[in-house]
Structure formats: structure tokens, C-alpha cells
């Protein structure tokens, strides 16, 4: 039985799935070639030519093929970055909440500093020295986006640190690493996974923005952000060059937002207030 609040989740998952399946399956079609240039058929509009279902770009390259390849590259990067950050955040947060005290203060202090540093500027600074590249962007984003996960993991670990099943093995002489692995990490996983789902869209926005600026994936490899940079040059003559990758991008970002809606704070604040009021009233009546 589907409850009304699940409609958003299902719609969101469907949107993401549509784009993912397209990216994975389109290469199986005979017309797939993201790099071949057909200058004679440059600027073919979408849905007008059977050979090029989504049209061609300024060099006559098949837009559908490029969209699919760019999708695999962009979404693959998103996945790697989210997973690595979730793992780093989980480790740091668990340690921080488990040991508390000085360790906690130091680690969370680092997290606060990290949060205040604008990633755009860091990537620009390092790109100025090393030259922009996909690896550089992925590495920097891969190790600088863990604060949210660390905070969630920490709050869970902090809540567990006084429970019997954590204290008892400590008294029996178990090492901290073992206690954390056996008894704490399992409880941390679920909330971290929820946050990771919600974060997919955010990371996709960041990656595409860096690609768009030219600080991420480098041509001729396609990415959705780069396809939009390309399209911007022909915004007047061929707006579809911008719109096609934009639709893919918006479907995935919108999909993750919808799918993670019921887990995130959206609209829950008010319910919290009403519940608190009811609770307070009930307590008064009971007294």
C-alpha cells in the first residue's frame, strides 16, 4: 500500500532511474558514438533526424551519445565522491563522539574550519598551479565534503557512548577500535546513508558547476557541465544544446531532492512545534 508521502519518493527515484538507465543502455544502440564528427549535419535539431535522436552539436557530434557518456562520467564521479566522503565522515564522527573530550573538540574544530572554506576558491587556487583536471577536482572534493557526515555520526556515537553495551566491553578490557567497529559503527550507518542520498544532488551541482567553469572534466571528454558551457555559445541559434544536458541535470538533482524529502527537515519543523504543543497540553491535563 502506497501512502501519500511516498509518492514523492517514487517520483524522485523514477526520475533518477530514467537518466541512469539512459546513460547505461544508450551505448548498446547501433548509432552510439560520442566523438565522431559529422560536420555536414552539425546543428541538427532534436527529434528531426532518425540518426541523431537528440540532435547534434556544433561539430556534428551525436548529442544523445554525448549525453549518455557524460552521464556515466558525471554520475560516476558523484558516486565516488559521496562514498569517499561518507566513509571519511563516518570514521571521524564516530571517533569524535566515542572519545569525546579533547579529541572531539579538535576534530570538530577542524570540521568547523573546513566548513567555512569556500571549495570554489580552493579548487581555483590549486588549479592555478597544477592546471585544472578531473582528478584534481575529484581529489579535492573527495576529501573536503565530509563535515555533514561527521556531525551526524558524532551525534549518534555521542548518544551511544553512555549505553551499557558500549561501556561493558570497555570494562572487560576491549580495545576502543574493536568496540567502535563492533558496537558503534552499525548504528551510525543508517543516518549516514540517508544523508548521502540527500547529498547526491548537492555533489552533482558542485561537480557540474566546476565542469561548467572549466575546472573539472576537460574536453574532449564530455560532461553535463561542459555540454552546457558549449551550448552557451549558441544560446540564440541553438538553445537545445543547453536545454538537453540541462534536462538531464535537473532530472537527477530534482529526483534526489524528492526522494530524500521525507528524511530531511523540509516541513518537519512545523510538525515538531504542533507535536510539542500537544505534548505540553497533555502533560498539563495529566497534572
Partner 1 sequence: MAVYLLRRFAQAVITVFAVISLAFLLGRLTGSPAASLLPETASAADIAALNHELGFDKPPLTQYLDYLTGILSGDFGDSYQQTGTSSMSLVLQRLPASLQLGVTGFAIGLALAFAVVLVIHLSGRWSLRGVALGLGAARLAVPDFLFGLLLVLVFSVTLGWLPSLAGADPLAIVMPAVTIATAQFVVYSRLLDNSLVAESSQDYVRTAYARGERRSSVLLRDVLPNALLPVLTISGITLGTLLGGLVIVENVFAWPGLGQLMLDAVFNRDFPVVQSGLVVIATIFVIVNFGIDVLYGVIDPRARVR
Residues that bind partner 1 (CB under 8 A): 115-121, 124-132, 201, 205, 208-209, 212-215, 225, 228, 232, 235-236, 239, 242-243, 246, 249-250, 253-254, 257, 265-267, 269-270, 272-273, 276-277, 280
Contact by Cβ (8 Å): 192, 153: yes
Q: Give the residue with the Cβ less far from partner 1, 1 or 129.
A: 129
In the chain, the largest separation of any two C-alpha atoms, in whole Å, equals 84
Minimum CB separation from partner 1 for residue 276, in Å? Answer: 4
Phi, psi angles (nearest 5°) of residue 47: 60, 20
Phi, psi angles (nearest 5°) of residue 62: -65, 120
Minimum CB separation from partner 1 for residue 209, in Å? Answer: 5
Minimum CB separation from partner 1 for residue 206, in Å? Answer: 8
Q: Give the residue with the Cβ less far from partner 1, 17 or 36.
A: 17
Distance CA 88, CA 82 (A): 10
Residue by residue, DSSP assigns 72-126 as: HHHHHHHHHHHHHHHHHHHHHHHHHHHH-HHHHHHHHHHHHHHHHS-HHHHHHHH
Minimum CB separation from partner 1 for residue 117, in Å? Answer: 7
The three grid cell numbers given for residue 54, joined into one nine-digit string = 537528440
Q: Give the residue with the Cβ less far from partner 1, 116 or 286.
A: 116
Q: Which residues of 39-57 are buried (b: 16+ CB within 10 A; e: fewer)?
A: eeeeebebeeeeebbbbbb
Give the sign of the dihedral formed by CA 214, CA 220, CA 223, CA 229: positive
Q: Give the residue with the Cβ less far from partner 1, 32 or 43.
A: 43
Phi, psi angles (nearest 5°) of residue 110: -60, -45
Contact by Cβ (8 Å): 256, 16: yes
Minimum CB separation from partner 1 for residue 228, in Å? Answer: 7
Minimum CB separation from partner 1 for residue 264, in Å? Answer: 10
Q: Give the residue with the Cβ less far from partner 1, 19 or 249.
A: 249
Minimum CB separation from partner 1 for residue 95, in Å? Answer: 23
Q: Give the residue with the Cβ less far from partner 1, 26 or 224.
A: 224
Residues 6 or more apart whose CB falls under 8 angstroms from that of 280 comprise: none
Q: Give the residue with the Cβ less far from partner 1, 2 or 116.
A: 116
Amino acid at each position: 500500500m502506497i501512502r501519500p508521502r511516498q509518492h514523492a519518493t517514487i517520483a524522485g527515484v523514477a526520475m533518477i532511474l530514467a537518466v541512469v538507465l539512459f546513460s547505461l543502455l544508450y551505448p548498446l544502440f547501433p548509432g552510439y558514438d560520442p566523438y565522431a564528427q559529422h560536420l555536414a549535419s552539425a546543428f541538427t535539431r532534436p527529434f528531426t533526424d532518425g540518426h541523431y535522436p537528440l540532435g547534434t552539436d556544433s561539430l556534428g557530434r551525436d548529442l544523445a551519445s554525448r549525453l549518455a557518456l557524460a552521464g556515466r562520467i558525471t554520475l560516476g564521479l558523484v558516486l565516488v565522491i559521496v562514498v569517499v566522503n561518507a566513509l571519511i565522515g563516518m570514521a571521524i564522527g564516530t571517533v569524535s563522539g566515542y572519545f569525546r573530550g579533547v579529541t572531539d573538540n579538535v576534530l570538530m574544530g577542524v570540521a568547523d574550519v573546513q566548513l567555512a572554506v569556500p571549495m570554489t576558491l580552493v579548487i581555483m587556487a590549486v588549479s592555478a598551479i597544477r592546471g585544472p583536471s578531473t582528478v584534481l577536482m575529484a581529489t579535492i572534493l573527495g576529501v573536503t565534503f565530509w563535515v555533514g557526515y561527521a556531525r551526524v555520526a558524532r551525534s549518534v556515537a555521542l548518544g551511544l557512548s553512555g549505553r551499557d553495551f558500549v561501556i561493558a566491553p570497555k570494562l572487560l578490557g576491549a580495545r576502543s577500535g574493536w568496540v567502535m567497529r563492533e558496537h558503534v559503527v552499525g548504528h551510525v550507518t543508517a543516518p549516514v546513508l540517508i544523508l548521502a542520498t540527500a547529498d547526491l544532488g548537492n555533489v552533482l551541482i558542485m561537480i557540474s558547476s566546476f565542469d561548467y567553469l572549466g575546472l573539472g572534466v576537460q574536453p574532449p571528454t564530455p560532461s553535463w557541465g561542459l555540454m552546457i558551457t558549449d551550448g552557451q555559445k549558441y544560446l540564440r541559434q541553438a538553445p537545445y544544446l543547453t536545454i538537453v544536458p540541462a534536462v538531464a541535470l535537473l532530472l537527477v538533482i530534482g529526483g534526489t531532492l524528492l526522494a530524500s524529502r521525507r528524511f530531511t527537515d523540509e516541513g518537519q519543523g512545523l510538525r515538531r512545534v504542533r507535536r510539542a504543543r500537544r505534548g505540553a497540553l497533555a502533560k498539563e491535563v495529566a497534572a
